[in-house]
Structure 1
């Protein structure tokens, strides 16, 4: 299973939004610059998060992005599903029915054991991501960061966060 770079970028962008003051947001350009990634690609991830209701966008000169819900209500699975989709990583094509010794469809009375094993693994993976919230990650960053780094981040946020206008 491979998780796209977009999930990483979206998770980092959403994590930055935890510390935004009320009524302020970050532009896609600022988030891209902070993480040193292409603006167009960051904007694509932010659009996916917005469409999923994880973040909200505000248009215009005083536009930007901010969390649409509490960080405690956003899981890593929510972000992963918003960016990469909810389609299972493994899709059984019933190849056990192919080839010279393939089973007949009527003889496939139970699910393919390989598909069933992958389904169990995928459920464990998703449940693991559902158990980690954005608030959990934010708390871990605060615990693991030096006071100097936290000051640098908060200074950057203060300089970059824009007052938001209308929400769309």
Structure 2
């Protein structure tokens, strides 16, 4: 199983935004610089997070991105779903007269594993990882914040 690069950048961006002082925002360029990614690509990822209601964006001198929720209220699962969508990871593709897709015994095992992973990711918040983030990132973002 592999999550997209967009999910990687989304999780890191949300965490970096969580380091900002309350009410402050930061532009896409500093976030892209921290992650060594194109600002154009990251802008697309951030737009997805805006549409999901996790962050907001504003234009102008004091513009940029900021969190819409408190870090303790944003789970890893929230961010993953915003980027990856809600489709199951595994879908039984076996269809025959002897096998009904709805009763696939392999699908039930995979669904159970996916539920357990979802529960774990729902229990992990952005707040929990902020303590582990390199403080140089925090200082850099705060210097760039508007």
Compute the TM-score of the two structures, normalised by the length of structure 2.
0.91
Distance 2:102 2:30 in 1: 53
User: Could you tell me whether the CA contact under 8 Å between 2:91 and 2:107 is conserved in 1?
Assistant: yes
Distance 1:2 1:155 in 2: 31
- Residue deviations 1:35-84 (CA, integer Å, cap 9, x gap): 11111111111111111111111122321111100101100000100011
User: Could you tell me whether the CA contact under 8 Å between 2:34 and 2:137 is conserved in 1?
Assistant: no
Give the structure 2 partner of residue 117 of structure 1.
109
Larger radius of gyration: 1
Question: Cα gap change, 1:39/1:109 in structure 2, threshold over 3 Å: closer, same or farther?
Answer: closer
SS of alignment partner, residue 91 of structure 2: coil
SS of alignment partner, residue 103 of structure 2: coil
1:5 CA displacement: 1.0
Compute the TM-score of the two structures, normalised by the length of structure 1.
0.80
Count how many residue pairs are aligned between Structure 1 and Structure 2: 146
Give the structure 2 partner of residue 30 of structure 1.
30
Give the structure 2 partner of residue 103 of structure 1.
98
RMSD: 1.8
Where in structure 1 do 4 or more consecutive aligned residues deviate above 4 Å? none
Distance 2:109 2:138 in 1: 45
Distance 2:4 2:34 in 1: 19
SS of alignment partner, residue 106 of structure 2: helix
Question: Cα gap change, 1:89/1:109 in structure 2, threshold over 3 Å: closer, same or farther?
Answer: closer
User: Could you tell me whether the CA contact under 8 Å between 2:95 and 2:101 is conserved in 1?
Assistant: no
Question: Cα gap change, 1:109/1:72 in structure 2, threshold over 3 Å: closer, same or farther?
Answer: closer
Distance 2:101 2:118 in 1: 28
SS of alignment partner, residue 130 of structure 1: helix
User: Could you tell me whether the CA contact under 8 Å between 2:7 and 2:79 is conserved in 1?
Assistant: yes
Give the structure 1 partner of residue 19 of structure 2.
19
Flag structure 1 segments of 5+ consecutive residues without an equivalent: 143-148, 163-168
